[in-house]
Structure 1
């Protein structure tokens, strides 16, 4: 029994002792703290550094040169004039101070260099003048000249009317649309938004559906069965076929609605309808075609 107890309580040889015990002993002897053996940062600091790196990566890089050019547009455009004028003045001053004859001599290398420098200086000056004369035209929305109008064709069902009004609300909210005219089945089923004012009584000009359908704009759009986008309506002579729209309508979309109708959408900004707007309007036209084809319509309208 005593022999067993002595074997149990006897210390283990140094070669069989755990390695971590030796590490703790050496650490106590050297007086090092426990965390000194680990060089890595606490997890919280590492996460904070990673978040800061992600935030810096997500932030857009600041273009100092581009911002300076935009803020000093006139100076940058006139810079070639300054450089060309300074070069021209330097050549003339050098010619006068150096004592060379004013008449150029083809056999003189100095004269040939001066002629080349003068040509480059004049080119810089002309380039600066071109830069100053060409400036991007600012495009801004205009206030349509006309009167507010809301005419619904007789015989339009309640469901079709709700669909048409939803289309109008969506267009005015998401695009630059200010006027909407829907002609379907030979009749004007909706005229809403700003319309041209009549010179006689000042009321909104009514849409003559039959006359509009005989125009080239309507026929070309229906024959192609594709959307027609007039980004700058003032440049098209066919605008005279749209007397019911405000005279200063900037852009126009003619969107066929199936095989029986068309939607004329007027905007207040040149090139105001984006590619996404055009694709979205084409999808709305398909929806309107399915709705209006189920609704009976007759000619005429009411305010």
Structure 2
């Protein structure tokens, strides 16, 4: 099953970016028409005015062309070849299921994530959203990206998967067509893996929100170290 992406919003500044180019072309066209049709006798002052007008038109045209390149269009979404689903680890308690259901639903509904995988303590606890293999919980063996997340305790954000050779690590976790992946640590023994259908899709605000949810999952799913909270 292929899930078609939502159309990307049209660039609200597209006419503003085109304004210098259109103005420059219009101005140069009017100067040529004025010279050929309405100037029977060419005066020195007229020549200077025409030269100045052509120069200003050229600057506007150049500015418009530069704006087209400097201000790129928003990234386009891609179709994901996945099937909607939600799979749990069989040994989860009801309270753990409730926590994971809340976290995954929140991530799917408030961020750019289309796939959520929660891996803690060597077990895949949940996969939800658009899945590559629904009904088959993936067995995750941490490789370069996940090992880096676990060792450093810092998230890794692959903003455009096709640019990273390490994307092969997520072939069995994310549906084909996934464009970006964010790996957020859950304590020191887990990782929250989010896939998206759009490059550069997770904003800074969303990354902060994802980190807060990962911290809450760590407090719920990971046991506290012995002696934590005891009086000294």
Equivalent-residue separation in structure 2 for 1:85 and 1:177 (angstroms)? 49
Q: Conserved in 1, the CA contact under 8 Å of 2:27 and 2:53? A: no
Q: Which structure has the bigger radius of gyration? A: 1
**1:220 and 2:156 are equivalent in the alignment:** no
The one of 151, 174, 177 aligned to 1:245: 174
Aligned to 2:41: 98
Equivalent-residue separation in structure 1 for 2:101 and 2:202 (angstroms)? 20
Task: Let me know the Cα RMSD of the aligned residues.
Answer: 3.6
Aligned to 2:208: 279
Aligned to 1:262: 191
Residues 1:72 and 1:274: Cα distance change in structure 2 (over 3 Å):
closer
Q: Conserved in 2, the CA contact under 8 Å of 1:177 and 1:267? A: yes
**1:292 and 2:211 are equivalent in the alignment:** no
Aligned to 1:8: none
Aligned to 2:9: none
Q: Conserved in 1, the CA contact under 8 Å of 2:89 and 2:137? A: no
The one of 18, 25, 30 aligned to 1:81: 25
**Segments of 4+ in structure 1 off by > 6 A?**
108-113, 132-135
- Give how far 1:114 is off: 5.3
Equivalent-residue separation in structure 1 for 2:140 and 2:18 (angstroms)? 55
What is the TM-score normalised by the length of structure 1? 0.56
- Which stretch of the first structure deviates more once superposed, 73-82 or 158-167? 73-82
What does the per-residue CA deviation read over 1:249-285, in whole Å, with 9 as the maximum and x for residues that have no partner?
2332211011111110123444443333222221221
Q: Conserved in 2, the CA contact under 8 Å of 1:255 and 1:264? A: yes
Greater helix content: 1
The one of 222, 230, 236 aligned to 2:158: 230
Residues 1:204 and 1:137: Cα distance change in structure 2 (over 3 Å):
farther
Q: Conserved in 1, the CA contact under 8 Å of 2:158 and 2:181? A: yes
Q: Conserved in 1, the CA contact under 8 Å of 2:81 and 2:176? A: yes
Alignment of 1:55-204 (within 5 A): 76=19, 77-91=21-35, 97-98=40-41, 115-130=51-66, 136-138=72-74, 143-197=79-133
Equivalent-residue separation in structure 2 for 1:191 and 1:248 (angstroms)? 17
- Give how far 1:247 is off: 2.1
Residues 1:262 and 1:147: Cα distance change in structure 2 (over 3 Å):
same
Q: Conserved in 1, the CA contact under 8 Å of 2:160 and 2:179? A: yes
Q: Which has the higher contact order (CA 8 A, sep 6+)?
A: 2
Secondary structure of the residue aligned to 2:202 is coil
Residues 1:208 and 1:84: Cα distance change in structure 2 (over 3 Å):
farther
Q: Which runs of 5+ in 1 are unaligned?
A: 1-68, 101-107, 198-202, 295-303
Residues 1:84 and 1:164: Cα distance change in structure 2 (over 3 Å):
same
Q: Conserved in 1, the CA contact under 8 Å of 2:24 and 2:56? A: no
- Give how far 1:292 is off: 2.0
Q: Conserved in 2, the CA contact under 8 Å of 1:81 and 1:128? A: no
Secondary structure of the residue aligned to 2:114 is strand
What is the TM-score normalised by the length of structure 2? 0.70
